[in-house]
Structure 1
Amino acid sequence: MSETIAEADASVLSPGEELAGRYVLGHRLGTGGFGAVYAARDRLLDEQVAVKILDTREPIIEQRHVWREAAILRVLDVPGVVQLRDEGIHQGRYFLVMSYVDGRPFPGAGVYGWEGLAVRVRSLLKVLALVHSQGVVHGDLKPGNVLVDDAGRVTLLDFGVASSQGLSVQAGGVVRGTPVYLAPEQWRGEAPSPQSDLYSVGVMIYEALVGQRPYQADSVSKLMKAVLLEPLPDWEPRVRGVPDEVESLVYRLLARFAERRPASAQHALSMFAAGRQRYQEVEWPMLGREAAFAKVEQAIEQRQPIDVAGPPGSGRSRLLDAIEDIYRARGDRPVLRVVSGSRPLESLWAFGSSDVQREGGFEEVSALAKKRVGEVLQEGGVVLVDDLEQVDRWSRKVLDAARPLGAMVRAVEPQQASVPRVELGDLKPVQLQGLFVGHEEVFGLRSGGAHELWRRTLRKPT
């Protein structure tokens, strides 16, 4: 960019105006972080895009948030995050060109009750886990920044106040973000963490199910007081069709202190999976794991434990998801899923058993957990342990003792696996071919798509 950002006319740009000799502006989509967002047509590629144009009336400290957003989007190339396509200067105004997202604010259109919301929550947590894994905290999650398409897939927008690699979300002592979705620690002036984003997710889920936000106030100061001092309202009237485990998870997301929330988006996702009801989710097919699936299913039918061995990214969790869906759909035996955790017995508390979750001494709770796991296995049920290395050591001790009792399926690193076991090896191009049938345009590859995916993902496209 050769131009220097200068003062410019702050009036709204007109449809038909052209930027950089390439982007023709359409209608105004709304106001994003520190600028207006327009639909536009990329004349060069003949594609629809979204253009965010900085309002130069904002002080320089505000403009830095847009520059930060560009810097973060340049490196944050993960599924479920809006893509940065280009950037430049138009009449002294800095602009960003991003992929156009066809969706509606969370939870999307036609969502009624938990059954319709479940797939959207899971999609949001998956995307958030990817964002956090790149060292980025969004810091301003709200329905308008979480667009949902007709299939329930989520795309995150507006990283204008996000933090990455030590960047602060505060400027001049002013807390950034949308007040009604801010976590308590953000109100206190602390930099947001992944748990702050999870709090915002909790507010959005609560609002989607109950019809109002957890705290109601007619001024920002009263809202801050409520968030920091008042207890969470009861879930009344109780929302019909919402499992107790989901209600419990929402309240954990809304905990006043960050350390009491799930440790990560992945942790929240695993807790959500442990108590979720059967629902249909849009997924790519599970390829190249048919033999492993059959061996695990055989072990379950014979009430024997089995380990699914492979490094992270090899498809261990995907296989456990498929096993869980099959047996929950059958409904002929109990299915328990262990989640990640760090505090004592946290991984087992997520089962949602009222006995295990009730207050009591550690020894009492530990004994109840052992009893619960043992009963499930002895009744012919299935215990699924995803990512054994992330299970808290107290829960792991309970599981180790119960493993010989029945069908416990553990997803583990190869060096942790016991026998019987199945190994998940590298996928071959021929096993990936099914991904591309009828989807060539999605991948932008005219031929050899399976070979290209195999190459780009180091043989682990899971």
Structure 2
Amino acid sequence: MIGEIINERYHLNAELGQGGMGTVYLARDTVLNRDVALKLVSSPRLGKDGRSRLLSEAQTVAQLKHPNIVTVYDAGEVENQPYVVMEYIQGDTLDKHQLDGYQQIVDAVKQICTALEYAHSHNIVHRDLKPENVILQPNGNLQLMDFGLAVSTTSRMTENGLIMGTVAYMSPEQAFGYEVTPASDLYSLGVMLYEMVTGSLPFEAEDALGVITQHIHAPVVPPIAKAEDLPGPLNDLIVSLLSKEPDQRPASAADVLAVLEDPSLFESAGSLDKELSVLDRIVRGRILGREGEFAEVRSLWLKSIAGQGQTVLISGEPGIGKTRLMR
């Protein structure tokens, strides 16, 4: 594709990166004589309706003007492939950076909250908030990209019924295919914040289904169990953001920002004076000696989310791992 011209206007000069939705190129707008970032969407399962929805979303997102949101300039189709033209921002995505200390993490998340509150006030939900969609500029400014442009999770089912996409940051309601609201973005923000302060994701497994199941059912291990110097209010905020029920999370990004801007945020140093339960301290590892049972339950679960109702009954002596198997 390098060297090609899209719709007689955008000259593709270099590839900037690839993701689940397609490829991003550094392009030259030959009409306005400026560099832009052009995302060429290549999801084979998008379909005509999906392409129309994506272009409609791009038109809506183009109305957003905010210092922490990458501006959308244009959108269109070329050979049945949608493309979105965006402001070209120099910098790397957040997943390539290690923020130094809680203060720097809080400063970064405050910028994300500001962007989210602005977008939500315009009835736009990101739907795919993750470090790869946040650009950190050399001056420390953060900008969110791909607002509202995520392909619907319900359209990304494999032949086995498994939802594909970025499941590590997916809210429980997204996993179920329910309506996505601003609360879903706040859950994803909670996952990001958890990862920033502990160095690990709240839910991990060997495959996407295992992660999705934990998002839906498994209680989160409080981050203070992994980062014992974490300020108490920050720990409580992350746990609330990761609530399974949307109405149990903070009401808005503005409410999250208020907590982060509270002068007393760092006054309460993290401690384990309030004892954590044994379960809160356990980091889920691999199940040993249950490969056969796990494979059978997983097969039935795949059939269930594909629309084929199933019933699973598990019995056994206390303490042999029934609950762990289901998680």
Does the alignment reach a TM-score above 0.5?
A: yes
1:256: how far off? 1.4
Question: How far apart, in 1, do the equivalents of 2:265 and 2:96 lie?
Answer: 20
Would the alpha carbon gap of residues 242 and 71 (structure 1) be closer, same or farther in structure 2, given more than 3 Å must change? Answer: same
Pair 1:117 & 2:105 matched:
yes
State the 1:40 CA deviation: 1.0
* Matched-pair contact (CA < 8 Å) for 2:25–2:37: yes
**Aligned-residue offset at 1:214:** 0.2
Q: Does 2:132 correspond to 1:135? A: no
| Structure 1 residue identity aligned to 2:73 | R
Q: What is the aligned partner in structure 2 of residue 322 from structure 1? A: none
Please name the residue that 1:75 is paired with: 63
Q: Which residue of 1 aligns with 2:23?
A: 36
Give the alignment partner of residue 33 of structure 2, picking from 31, 42, 46. Answer: 46
1:216-266, Cα deviation, whole Å (9 max, x unpaired): 111222212212222111435542653221111111111111111100000
Residue from 230, 247, 251 that aligns with 2:235: 247
Residue segments in structure 2 that go unaligned for 5+ positions in a row: 275-327
Deviation, structure 1 residue 148: 1.8
- Confirm whether residue 178 of structure 1 aligns to residue 193 of structure 2: no
Partner of 2:213: 225
Tell me if structure 1 keeps the 8 A contact 2:74–2:85: yes
How many residue pairs get matched?
A: 267
C-alpha distance after superposition, 1:425-457 (max 9, x if no partner): xxxxxxxxxxxxxxxxxxxxxxxxxxxxxxxxx
Paired with 2:207 and 2:156, the residues of 1 have a C-alpha distance of: 22
Contact kept, 8 Å, 1:28 with 1:39, in 2: the verdict is: yes
CA apart distance, 1:213: 0.3
Instruction: Report if aligned partners of 1:246, 1:276 keep a CA contact under 8 Å in 2.
Output: no
Inter-CA distance 161–21: structure 2 relative to 1 (3 Å threshold): closer
Which one has the largest radius of gyration? 1
Q: Are the counterparts in 1 of residues 197 and 223 from structure 2 also a CA contact under 8 Å?
A: no
Give secondary structure in 2 for the equivalent of 1:85.
Answer: strand
2:92–2:136 CA contact under 8 A, matched in 1: yes
Change (3 A) 1:32 1:77: farther
Match of 1:264 among 252, 260, 284: 252
Partner letter of residue 197 of structure 2?
Answer: L
Relative distance call for 1:236 and 1:32 in structure 2 (3 A) is same
User: What's the counterpart of residue 139 of structure 2?
Assistant: 151
2:141 is the counterpart of 1:188: no
Query: What CA RMSD, in Å, does the superposition of the two structures yield over aligned residues?
Result: 3.2
In structure 2, C-alpha distance between the alignment counterparts of 1:276 and 1:156, rounded to whole Å:
28
Supply the AA of the counterpart residue of 2:255.
Answer: H
SS at match of 2:168: helix
What is the CA–CA distance in structure 2 between the aligned matches of 1:228 and 1:242, rounded to whole Å?
26
Amino acid at match of 1:194: P
Cα deviations across residues 393-428 of structure 1 (Å, max 9, x unaligned)? Answer: xxxxxxxxxxxxxxxxxxxxxxxxxxxxxxxxxxxx
Counterpart Cα distance in 1 of 2:218 and 2:243: 12
Are the equivalent residues in 1 in contact too, given 2:153–2:175 (CA < 8 A)? no
Q: Report the AA paired with residue 115 of structure 2.
A: V
Distance in 1 (alpha carbons) for counterparts of 2:87 and 2:61 = 11
- Identity across the alignment (%): 31
AA aligned to 1:41 is: R
**Structure 2 residue matching 1:136: 3-state secondary structure:** coil
Q: Which amino acid aligns with 1:51?
A: L
- Correspondence for 2:290: none
Structure 2 counterpart of 1:118, which letter? V
Cα displacement string for residues 42-98 of structure 1 (whole angstroms, at most 9, x for unaligned residues): 233332211112327443344234323323223333332221212344455432211
One-letter amino acid of the structure 1 residue matched with residue 259 of structure 2: M
Q: TM-score, normalised by structure 2?
A: 0.71
Q: Which runs of 5+ in 1 are unaligned?
A: 1-12, 279-333, 335-350, 358-462
Aligned partners of 2:58 and 2:149 also within 8 Å: no
* 1:119 to partner: Cα distance: 1.1
- Compared CA separation, residues 215 and 53, structure 1 to 2 (3 A): same
8 Å contact kept, 1:72–1:159: no
Q: What is aligned with 2:302?
A: none
Q: 1:262 to 1:256 in 2, by over 3 A?
A: same
Distance 2:140 2:25 in 1: 24
Cα deviations by residue, 1:347-386 (Å, 9 ceiling, x for unpaired): xxxx99x9xx9xxxxxxxxxxxxxxxxxxxxxxxxxxxxx
TM-score, L = length of structure 1:
0.52
Of the three residues 191, 197, 200, the one matched with 2:188 is 200
> For residues 158 and 132 of structure 1, what CA distance do their matches in structure 2 show?
14
Structure 2 distance, partners of 1:211, 1:132, is: 28
